[in-house]
Amino acid sequence: MAKERLSVVVTRRLPEAVEARLSELFDTTLREDDTPMTREELSKAMKTADVLVPTITDQIDASLITQAGDRLKLIANYGAGVDNIDVATARQRGVLVSNTPGVLTDDTADMTMGLILAVTRRMPEGLAAMQSGTWQGWAPTAFLGGRIAGRRLGILGMGRIGQAVARRAAAFGMQVHYHNRRRLRAEIEETLQATYWDSLDQMVARVDVLCINCPSTPSTFHLMNARRLKLMKKDAVLVNTSRGEVVDENAMTRMLRAGDIAGAGLDVYENGTDINPRLRELPNVVLLPHMGSATLESRLEMGEKVIINIKTFDDGHRPPDQVVPSML
């Protein structure tokens, strides 16, 4: 007798190849349009599916998990972060949670370096002049930015992405400094040419570029608060490609407008798509629509990890990328 196929619900449109493979292997319900599910739709999906495949736009909180019933057994997140899922409640309810770590590292690190260059070399201002037709030709003092070689880069969060940023920054001639909840092994520090700071305050006050690469957890919420932002040098730049909640966005905006921070490159925001409108007015700020990992290669690899996690679970084994509360 053939084994009954797992019921899988996907909450957003995924690359066609990923959707096709999911449909081949499982009884898969795909999203018809590329919009986030409403809370009611999520609740219904969690009551009728064996496996839910959400993305970072889906907030799977304790209330939804508690009301899911007994059928849901796995939440296979299409994303590296799981701050959109109450993992502890899921575990209490016997629901496993998996994610897709590792595949976004290089793409996000590339974008981080892109933002560092864009802000320090004033690329958006040059682009605006070209698109508006106001450029009158080369001039010795026009669009003068700063050289990044020799500058101190402070990395807040030295995980996979932080280390990938460090390797790229060293190739550009930057001096790499970092703060992390755990110090790296000496041999890794030596390979990365990275200097560890036990005090985040002291590092923040001394670097020329501060790069945010830590996850969103209760302990990192507003880690860069108003007090700590004020420690930054006036000619320093802040770049964030991790999670917007790590930075007090209103305090950062005030300081950018006052000239207390030289510039910022942001790919993530504290309130999602509700971006502080004053940020849009600043010529020294580069704003991107959360596209740090937006390459076809990464999206396909994320899909492969989701499929492997579900298939492994279906075969009676622990998903290779299972997340437990102690990991967060």
Average pLDDT per consecutive 10 residues, the chain (328 residues; last block may be shorter): 85 96 97 93 96 95 93 96 92 96 95 98 94 95 95 97 98 98 96 97 98 91 97 98 95 96 97 91 94 95 98 97 75
What pairs with residue 85 in β-bridges?
60
Cα separation, 326 vs 323, in Å, equals 8
Give domain status of residue 162, yes or no.
Answer: yes
Residues 97, 230 within the same domain: no
Give per-residue burial for 288-323: e unless 16+ CB within 10 Å, then b: bebebbebeebbbbbbebbbbbbebbbeeeebebbb
Q: In what order do the strands lie in the sheet with 152-156?
A: 194-196, 175-179, 152-156, 209-212, 237-240, 263-266, 285-287
Residue 188 falls inside a structural domain? yes
Answer whether residue 185 is part of any domain.
yes
Total count of domains within the chain: 2
58 domain-assigned = yes
Same domain, 168 and 240: yes
Alpha-carbon gap, residue 31 to 59, rounded angstroms = 17
Q: Is residue 1 included in any domain, yes or no?
A: no
Is residue 175, in this structure, part of any structural domain at all? yes
- Distance CA(137)–CA(115), nearest Å, equals 25
229 and 181 share one domain: yes
- Domain identity same for 85 and 115: no
Cα 144 to Cα 136: distance, rounded to the nearest angstrom: 16
Per DSSP bridges, beta strands 194-196 and 175-179 are parallel
Residues 88 and 131 grouped into a single domain? no
Residue 198 pLDDT: 97
> What distance in Å separates the CA atoms of residue 294 and residue 84, rounded to the nearest whole number?
19
Domain boundaries, position 33: 7-101+296-327
pLDDT score, position 51: 97
If one counts every other C-beta atom within 10 angstroms of the C-beta of residue 193, the result is: 13
- The reply to whether 174 and 221 lie within a common domain is yes
**110 in a structural domain:** yes
| Whether 208 and 304 share a structural domain | no
Which structure tokens are listed for 302?
């994320």
Task: State the DSSP string of 118-140.
Answer: HHHTTHHHHHHHHHHT------T
Burial class (CB in 10 A: 0-12, 13-18, 19+), 209: buried
Helix (H, G, I), strand (E, B) or coil at 10: strand
Same domain, residue pair 274 and 317: no
Residue 298 has, within 13 A of its CA and on its CB side, a CA count of 19
Closest CA to 241 of 203, 215, 275, 221: 215
The gap between the terminal CA atoms of the chain, to the nearest Å, is: 41
One domain for residues 200 and 269: yes
Cα 41 off chain centre by: 25
Question: Do 125 and 268 share a domain, yes or no?
Answer: yes
User: Can you give the pLDDT at residue 141?
Assistant: 95
Predicted confidence at residue 326, as pLDDT, reads: 59
In CATH, what number is assigned to the domain containing residue 88? 3.40.50.720
Phi, psi (deg, nearest 5) at residue 12:
-135, 165
| Euclidean distance between CA atoms 229 and 166, whole angstroms | 22
Residue 281 exposed, middle or buried by CB count within 10 Å (0-12, 13-18, 19+) = exposed
Question: Is 215 within a domain?
Answer: yes
Q: Is 301 left (phi over 0), alpha (psi -120 to 50) or beta?
A: alpha
Q: What is the pLDDT of residue 1?
A: 53
Residues 125 and 239 in one domain: yes
CA distances from 173 to 119, 195, 265, 295, 297 (A): 17, 14, 20, 26, 28
Q: Are residues 65 and 182 in the same domain?
A: no
List, as one string, the DSSP characters of 272-302.
Answer: TT---HHHHT-TTEEE--S-TT--HHHHHHH
Write the CA distances from 47 to 43, 59, 232, integer angstroms: 6, 16, 49
From CA 304, how far away is CA 300, in angstroms rounded? 6
